[in-house]
Amino acid sequence: VSAGLAPSRPSARVQLASVFRKEVFQTVRDRRVMFLLMVAPLVQTVVFGFAVDFDVDRVPTVVVDLDRTAESREHARRLLADRTLAPVGAAAGMAEAERAIDRGDAAAALLLPRGLGADLLAGRPAEVQVVLDGTDPNRAIVAGGAVSRYFGELGERMARERLAARGLPEPARIELVPRLAYNPELRSPPFMVPGIAAMLLVIVTTLTSAMGLAREREMGTLEQVLVTPVRPLLLLVGKMAPFVVIGVVDVMLLVGVGTWLFDIPIRGSPLVLLAATLVYLMTTLGVGLLISTVSANQQQAFLGGFLFAMPAILLSGVMTPIRAMPDWLQLVTRLNPLRYFVEVMRGVLLRGAGLADLWPQLAALVVLGVAILAVATSRFHKRLA
Amino acid sequence: VNDRLRRSLVRIGAMAAKETQHVLRDPRTLYMSLGMPVVLLFLFGYGLSFDLDRIPIAVEDRDRTESSRALVDALTASGELEEVARAGAGEAEALFRRGEALAALVVPEGYGRDLSARRAARIQLLVDGADTVVANQVLSKADALVRAEARRLLGPDLSRRPPPVQVQVFTLYNPEGRSALYLVPGLAVYLLAITAVLLTALTIAGEWERGSMEQLFASPVGRLEIVLGKLLPYLVLGILELQLVVAFGAVAFDLPIRGSGPLLFAFGVLFLVGMLGQGLLVSVVAKNQLVATQAGALSALLPSLLLSGMVFPIENMPSVLQALSRIVPARYLVHALRGVLLKGNGLDVLWPDLVALLVFAMAVIAIATARFQRRLA
């Protein structure tokens, strides 16, 4: 450095390191922020993992047994022994049973008509009725299906016995032998927890970075730093770097808790997962930056972040399958970085997929990440100029 | 006394008018509380569903007989199961990993022979169990299609006989089983929680952060008046939002309103008061907007989504979470809204929900005002 001239800028590395150090200090010093960025996602994953269970079982059922024979009692007992339905009492008549459904004490009522036992023994066609609480359609379908299946199988068994009794040959039978790959018990957590991790990363990184930058704009500190020799681009990278670290740590934490608490396997390569996480963070932080450039204050930044996060979560396949969406909506999901990250997470953890299977998703994330960051940085520069 | 009350009301009104202007000036707030509900309802009603129309499967017919071809045709004819690849169990997992197929059907050699010999003919279905929701659908659809094929094989005289026991199913309240009717009340509750907790927490935390709260205290406006004035516009916004969601649900999805409108309104207001109190509490504890949003999301949004029964049934949860859900006010409003809208329940059934919401609102407002006073002292 020659004396008499304006002091030259420190090297890029030094600039970057000092911004990074300052940002890390600032983030770590505020215990509440650290708690919210590290502990909160963990708590949410645990609660979510236990709360989300799509399996319908123990549907509270009242039995209206008008037949009152040993036969009818036996069928009611066997039907309710299967865990899908759970008995919550008996009612004298259908009106009483419907009142129980109205009050919410029961969600299904089973009516066994007078003469059911005698009809079954004589081989006469009989009819049972099920009344369901339809407010939860999924539960209603499962409960109705359990009753239909029980009596359907009973009917098939009786028909076969009748043929055998008459000395006729047994009819042809097809047996479907299902085998479930990856998750033989079909537990919900291995499916849901990777999706939750992707969801929480949006909240932790996009919302926090958008609000953090909006706060600097609000307080005018961004302009102050720009007077110093730090280049705007390096300032930006330094500000984003702590979030990348937090995001990666969060993913490791969540996957760790998932394997420990919910027995989620890690069948594929953790490196692919790490690469996907880094590229995915590029997109979420890019969106955060973009939102901060169109927000005058933190409240606006929060709203902007939320307006991005809600549809992105709904259109990611975390909750409902993408294949079940109409075609035009499936096209929209192709622009959603969350979708690709969820696919990579589930592919690597559950299916043991590798780069050979998941390169399209990774490529899509790279393209989206570069595009979003390019737009966001150019807008950031324009705002500062 | 009357005069003091009147003047106090004027001051509250002035605060509320100022806050209303803030809200109106930023279209994002309005969009979030009034536009977002419509977008979400639209998505839930027309876009999001759990049911797949076409399930891509791989098929390997090792038998290659007339009966095995008939079976594959019967399974794939309706298009519900769609044959996308001719591959066996060996290659199936590669297809699963790339997401190209969700199941693989294998008809083993000897299928046709077993059928004609009246032995049980076995077929295998390998299902991608990673997506549990889809896997359950694949299993039940394949099961139904195989049963239908087995019935067809029984021959015309046997298959046309009525089954010995017929099951008649009546579904109350939502006979077509439309998921929109199930989701709309829950969605209304979720959106109300967002508006009431997060927007108030943000706006009041912003005043603390900028130090303008202290300036306001120096003005002749009383402290309680400031808080009431700031919360009032969000109460109105929340009520508008509830009406919008119910009205949109009624117009677009034929959501019925079988119970009493005023009761619905009373539930909504009581819930909003509690949520506004929670927003105030969050802002006092958090002191800045960044912490306030995360704390608000953790204490209000997630419980309202996960533990309210809006999507995930409470009965299915472990008992610890069921107990925890009892302190989540959204749980009571979801139950009450479904009761009033779909079942036509009245107070005789829903009074426990009303009591729970009342207790929550009073408790949270008591805590929030106590913390608020202490913060100033």
ipTM of the complex: 0.81
**Per-residue burial over B105-126, b = 16 or more CB atoms within 10 Å of its CB, e = otherwise:** bbbbebbbebbeeeeebbbbbb
More confident residue, A46 or A281: A281
Angstroms from A279 CA to nearest CA on chain B:
20
| Chain A residues with CB-CB distance to B293 below 8 A | 207, 211, 302
Determine which of B159, B170, B207, B335 to mutate to test the interface with A (most A C-beta atoms within 10 Å).
B170
Query: For chain B, what is the radius of gyration of the CA atoms?
Result: 29
| 8 Å CB contact of A191 and B143 | no
**Closest chain A residue by Cα to residue B296:** A36
| 8 Å CB contact of B127 and A208 | no
**Cβ-nearest to B96 among A56, A181, A319:** A181
Using CA atoms, how far apart are residues B308 and B335, in angstroms rounded to an integer?
A: 9
Using CA atoms, how far apart are residues B268 and B237, in angstroms rounded to an integer?
A: 12
More confident residue, A163 or B263: B263
**Per-residue burial over B240-261, b = 16 or more CB atoms within 10 Å of its CB, e = otherwise:** ebbebbbebbeeebebeeebee
Sheet with B81-85, strands from edge to edge, namely A173-181, B120-128, B103-107, B55-61, B81-85
Using CA atoms, how far apart are residues A124 and A126, in angstroms rounded to an integer?
A: 6
Average pLDDT over residues A143-154: 86
Q: Angle formed by the axes of helices B200-210 and A298-314, to 10°?
A: 150
Sheet with B165-172, strands from edge to edge, namely A85-90, A59-65, A108-112, A126-133, B165-172
**Closest chain A residue by Cα to residue B163:** A155
Average pLDDT over residues A322-351: 92
**Closest chain A residue by Cα to residue B124:** A177
| 8 Å CB contact of B49 and A357 | no
pTM for this entry: 0.83
**Cβ-nearest to B321 among A51, A56, A169:** A51
Q: What is the pLDDT of residues A342-385, one digit of tens each?
A: 999 999 999 888 899 999 999 999 999 999 999 998 888 887 66
| Chain B residues with CB-CB distance to A294 below 8 A | none
DSSP secondary structure letters along A173-214: EEEEEEEEES-TT--HHHHHHHHHHHHHHIIIIIIHHHHHHH
Q: Is the Cβ–Cβ distance between A365 and A272 less than 8 Å? A: no
Q: Angle formed by the axes of helices B200-210 and B261-286, to 10°?
A: 30
| 8 Å CB contact of B170 and A297 | no
Using CA atoms, how far apart are residues B359 and B367, in angstroms rounded to an integer?
A: 12
Q: Tell me which residue has tokens 């989504």.
A: B305
User: In the structure encoding, which two tokens stand for residue B1, read together?
Assistant: 């006394």
**Closest chain A residue by Cα to residue B168:** A129
Q: Is the Cβ–Cβ distance between B164 and A123 less than 8 Å? A: yes
Q: Is the Cβ–Cβ distance between A211 and B289 less than 8 Å? A: yes
| 8 Å CB contact of B129 and A137 | no
pLDDT at A1: 43
Determine which of A180, A191, A267 to mutate to test the interface with B (most B C-beta atoms within 10 Å).
A180
pLDDT at B376: 66
Terminal CA-to-CA distance of chain B, rounded, Å?
27
| Chain A residues with CB-CB distance to B53 below 8 A | 324
| Chain B residues with CB-CB distance to A357 below 8 A | 94, 97-98
Q: Are strands B120-128 and A108-112 parallel, antiparallel or unpaired?
A: unpaired
Using CA atoms, how far apart are residues A165 and A155, in angstroms rounded to an integer?
A: 15
More confident residue, A354 or A167: A354
Angstroms from B273 CA to nearest CA on chain A:
21
Using CA atoms, how far apart are residues B7 and B221, in angstroms rounded to an integer?
A: 10
**pLDDT tens for the 377 residues of chain B, in order:** 788 888 888 888 888 898 888 888 877 777 777 888 888 888 877 777 777 888 999 999 999 999 899 999 989 988 889 988 887 777 888 888 888 899 999 999 989 898 888 788 889 999 998 888 788 888 888 888 888 888 788 766 665 566 667 778 888 888 777 777 888 888 889 888 888 898 888 888 888 888 888 787 788 877 778 888 888 888 998 899 888 888 888 888 888 888 898 999 999 999 999 999 999 999 888 878 888 888 888 888 888 888 888 888 887 788 888 899 999 999 999 999 999 998 888 888 899 999 999 999 999 988 988 888 777 65
pLDDT at B162: 62
| 8 Å CB contact of B97 and A186 | no
pLDDT at A2: 46
Q: Is the Cβ–Cβ distance between B112 and A33 less than 8 Å? A: no
User: In the structure encoding, which two tokens stand for residue A217, read together?
Assistant: 């704009």
**Closest chain B residue by Cα to residue A38:** B294
Q: What is the pLDDT of residues A173-207, one digit of tens each?
A: 788 888 888 888 888 888 888 888 888 888 888 98
Chain mean position to CA A232: 37
pLDDT at A8: 67
Torsion sign over Cα B8, B10, B11, B17:
positive
For residue A268, give the 3-state DSSP assignment.
coil
- The burial class, CB within 10 Å (0-12 / 13-18 / 19+), for B177 is middle
Q: Give the residue among B367, B366, B342, B340 at the shortest CA–CA distance from B353.
A: B340
| Chain B residues with CB-CB distance to A130 below 8 A | 167-170
pLDDT at A47: 83
Using CA atoms, how far apart are residues A201 and A247, in angstroms rounded to an integer?
A: 6
Chain mean position to CA B116: 51
CB pairs under 8 A between A and B: 328
| Chain B residues with CB-CB distance to A186 below 8 A | 129, 132, 135-136
CB atoms under 10 Å from CB of B93, counted, come to 18
| 8 Å CB contact of A174 and B302 | no
Q: Tell me which residue has tokens 């990777």.
A: A194
pLDDT at B377: 59
Q: Give the residue among A230, A257, A331 at the shortest CA–CA distance from A18.
A: A230
| Chain A residues with CB-CB distance to B171 below 8 A | 131-132, 134, 140, 144
Lowest mean pLDDT among A37-41, A80-84, A147-151: A37-41
| Chain B residues with CB-CB distance to A51 below 8 A | 306-307, 312, 317, 321
| Chain B residues with CB-CB distance to A319 below 8 A | 48, 311
Using CA atoms, how far apart are residues A140 and A149, in angstroms rounded to an integer?
A: 14
Using CA atoms, how far apart are residues B143 and B125, in angstroms rounded to an integer?
A: 10
pLDDT at A251: 92
Q: Which residues contact B93 (CB under 8 A, 6 or more apart)?
A: A181, A351
Q: What is the pLDDT of residues A76-102, one digit of tens each?
A: 999 988 788 988 988 888 889 988 988
| 8 Å CB contact of B172 and A131 | yes
| 8 Å CB contact of A128 and B166 | yes
For residue B55, give the 3-state DSSP assignment.
strand
